[in-house]
Chains A and B, each alone.
Chain A
Amino acid sequence: MMESSAAYENDLNLKATELRLGLPGTTDDEEETAVSSVRTYKRPLQEDTDHEKCGGNGKSESQNETSPPSKAQIVGWPPVQSYRKNNSQSKKTESEPGIYVKVSMDGAPYLRKIDLRVYKGYPELLQALENMFRFTIGEYSEREGYKGSDYAPTYEDKDGDWMLVGDVPWQMFITSCKRLRIMKGSEARGLGCGV
């Protein structure tokens, strides 16, 4: 019973449009993938799995899936060196293409291009931006935006609107962000007050 309702919820993808009070970037992603990995197992305990390809397992997206007893991953098999396994499947489980966006900062003479997939969440992204352009971003709060500095990180979304970075959940952000702009001064403060 539990499983089928979880299945239903995953199909509707409620998480993407969920209204949340938590800080942006904090999600229950790990839990979600664990559930989905159990779900994609169609024939977990077949006797003749040794002699036939078990078609159900191939589509799982999680690297942490547990195999049924007969197909436990054996040490040293297949004989591929670990650095090959690590490299081919690096951080991305199924070679998702990078999400490249340009980043500009008011007053800086050059643009940067970054891959949003590299970052796990807002804190990492903001830290990277701080390092890249050598400035400090203030403290984020949903009501007041970035307090404590002259700068505010903003982005242009799919609809052409300029939004404050951090207002939407991380996953939604990376799929809708077209480019980033670190605004300075009054323009930045203007955005901060309630979008």
Chain B
Amino acid sequence: MSEDDDRQQSPPSDLEFVSNKARNCNATGSGSGNPEFQSAYPDQVLENVLHFLTSKRDRNAVSLVCKSWYRVEALTRSELFIGNCYAVSPARATARFARVRALHLKGKPRFADFNMMPSDWGAHFNPWALAMAKAYPWLEKVHLKRMSVTDDDLATLAELFLGFKELVLVCCDGFGTSGLAIFVNKCRQLKVLDLIESESSDDEADWISCFPEGESHLESLIFDCVECHINFEALERLVARSPSLKKLRLNRYVSIGQLYRLMVRAPQLTHLGTGSFSSSEIAGQGDQEPDYVNAFAACKTLVCLSGFREIILDYLPAIYPVCANLTSLNFSYANITAEQLKPIISKCHKLQVFWVLDSICDEGLQAVAATCKELRELRVFPVDAREDSDGPVSEVGLQAISEGCRKLQSILYFCQQMTNAAVITMSKNCPDLVVFRLCIMGRHRADHVTGEPMDDGFGAIVMNCKKLTRLAVSGLLTDKVFDYIGRHGKLVRTLSVAFAGDSDMGLKYVLEGCPQLQKFEIRDSPFGDAALRSGLHHYYNMRFLWMSSCRLTRRGCQEIARAMPRLVVEVIRSADEEEVDDAVEILYMYRSLEGPRTDAPKFVTIS
């Protein structure tokens, strides 16, 4: 399970301006004024020590100590994380780091997930694939998020990296089942193939059959987002010859009868995505149905359960045997009521992560609060994702969760109505909150009891939740909420704003007040050029700023670009619109060592 969640990653660590800083550091570091500092021990010793460092934050700090530490750190960094694929070029990355075994790359900004970015904007994996093939033929692992990956790229990975073991694609697109077929066929050492929330075209290639014969090394196979029919017999054989398989997440074309057959072959699974959890046909003698309860009972190590894409409720009791062990349960595709949830959730005492649809209503959330005392992460998605739909969950559910789940660290909550009081209560009951994302779907909606803006609620969150690093605000909001955030949100790294604020002051409060701010996405808010200028001191510290449908002009953006040469300032318009006036539809700007990119499409203007 993953949507944009930076909790587990250290704060920003793009390759930025290190060369400048290292030189400065070196010059001041040596007392005698010698340009080259003589190390008291050979590089080899340092290398042996630095091998143990895994955190990228630590490694970045180490690389700034002096020239020799920079050099040795570069030799020993085996996992390379690049938060913005345009911040640094493949050539620069491969020139600095010689022995990379794993690459983690991120591309488009998050708002691209909601169709706010025209397609073909960029973030192509191809130049990286080719550069890696030359520089790191021993590369084992690639983890991509929001990148465009083609079938050719998949073929490159499989053919040019002989020991390739692990591919994780999150929110990616551009490839199809033909690419998957080549990839799985040629990757003889493959351990992990995780396709998560990615879009793949159905070329009708039978990719499951393309896994090579013989015992497989597969530990994880996740393809719940792949929208294509699969060859079930081939899948069954594959699972049967994968003794190390621990994670299996099926797509919705796998019926419950087929699920049964797989589970019987793989009781050692720890993570299971059940596929459709329904059947359109059942072949069998008379009324004989497989013993689903038994199949679940046999999975003694199952801790993470998801799927239920087209759930038939009659089958739901089959999961009772595993509930007591579950730490993670994803019901976000299952349209179930509170009554249907209760018998399940009342058994899930160890649950830490729960994703669900708002069909369970406030009553369902009360049931969650009553049992799940270990809950760390809750996501409540809307069944009907429209502004004017009925809202089955409200401040009542939020309040209940805050009272029952005191260890809560992360929440994403879609609703139609909310009160400041409930949000304030949560801020007090759940002091460990790191991620607070509240989406009141009706734009500009006030506290429905008092009629007041939602400023005070979010204000309380930033004041009381001292560990907060990620915040998304919604509802009727004035500049006051930004004042609160600027004053109290000192650890906030990711901020998401929509339809909020009254004037430029709002943006100024945040840009001047939040020193840790890295990723800032804003839409449909009245912030203009003057406000943009107030962040000049901070933009080099940020990964990106996105502003769409605000009050920016081209001139304002060009001013910023002139003032900050290492910033790439992209003005993006809808693909089919002509350049009409000075108003800017989308501004996307990010720091970069490379200057304007050469692969920008026509509808992107780089100032």
Contacts and interface: CB of A to CB of B under 8 A. Distances in A.
A77 B443 contact: yes
Nearest to B286: A111
Interface stretch (A16-24, A32-40, A51-59, A181-189): A51-59
B83 interface: no
B280 A118 contact: yes
B405 interface: no
Interface stretch (B151-159, B384-392, B555-563): B384-392
A77 B498 contact: yes
A26 interface: no
B499 to A, nearest CB: 8
A114 B333 contact: no
Interface string A78-90: 1111111101111
A82 B444 contact: no
Of A78, A89, A113, A132, the most chain B CB neighbours within 10 A belong to A78
A8 interface: no
B309 A87 contact: yes
B388 A54 contact: yes
Contact of B281 (A80, A109, A113): A113
B41 interface: no
B552 interface: no
A76 B388 contact: no
B387 A73 contact: yes
B258 interface: no
Contacts of B199: 83
Contacts of A4: none
Contacts of A120: none
A58 B280 contact: no
Contacts of A147: none
A51 B312 contact: no
Interface in A82-111: 82-85, 87-90, 95, 98, 109-111
B575 interface: no
Contacts of B333: 84, 87-88
Nearest to A79: B114
Contact of A95 (B113, B281, B335, B382): B335
A78 B388 contact: no
A111 B284 contact: yes
Nearest to A91: B310
Contacts of B252: 87
A49 B113 CA distance: 28
B539 interface: no
A76 B111 contact: yes
B383 A88 contact: yes
Interface string B329-370: 000110100000000000000000000010000000000000
A50 interface: yes
B279 A80 contact: no
Contacts of A14: none
B141 interface: no
A78 B387 contact: yes
B283 interface: yes
Nearest to A50: B444
B416 interface: yes
A87 B253 CA distance: 13
B68 interface: no
Interface string B440-458: 0111111000000000000
B523 interface: yes
A9 interface: no
A112 B114 contact: no
Nearest to A109: B285
B116 interface: yes
Interface in A162-190: none
A12 interface: no
Given A50-B443, A76-B114, A76-B523, A81 B197 contact: yes
Given A71-B388, A75-B116, A88 B281 contact: no
B416 A53 contact: yes
B8 interface: no
A53 B381 contact: no
B235 interface: no
A95 B391 CA distance: 16
A89 B384 contact: yes
B414 interface: yes
Given A53-B416, A53-B417, A58-B389, A114 B335 contact: no
A127 to B, nearest CB: 14
Of A53, A57, A76, A79, the most chain B CB neighbours within 10 A belong to A79
A82 B382 CA distance: 12
Contacts of A50: 443-444
Contacts of B3: 81
A78 B439 contact: yes
B75 interface: no
A113 B523 CA distance: 49
B115 interface: yes
B386 A53 contact: no
A54 B312 CA distance: 33
Contacts of B111: 76, 79
A75 B385 contact: no
B131 interface: no
Contacts of A83: 197, 199, 225
Contacts of A88: 333, 335, 357, 381, 383, 385
A51 B383 CA distance: 22
Contacts of B285: 109-111
Interface string B125-155: 0000000000000000000000000000000
The 10 A-B residue pairs with the shortest CB-CB distance, nearest first, are A76-B114, A58-B390, A80-B385, A76-B116, A78-B441, A113-B282, A57-B388, A95-B335, A112-B281, A115-B280
24 contacts: A49-B388, A50-B443, A53-B388, A53-B417, A53-B442, A57-B389, A58-B388, A75-B114, A75-B116, A76-B114, A77-B443, A78-B382, A78-B386, A80-B382, A81-B3, A82-B115, A84-B333, A84-B385, A88-B357, A89-B384, A95-B383, A98-B278, A113-B280, A113-B282
Given A73-B387, A88-B357, 20 more contacts: A49-B388, A50-B444, A53-B417, A58-B389, A71-B388, A74-B387, A75-B115, A76-B114, A76-B115, A77-B114, A78-B386, A78-B414, A80-B114, A80-B381, A81-B3, A81-B114, A87-B333, A98-B312, A111-B285, A112-B282
Interface of B: 3, 111, 113-116, 197, 199, 225, 252, 278-286, 309-310, 312, 332-333, 335, 357, 381-391, 414, 416-417, 439, 441-446, 476, 498, 523
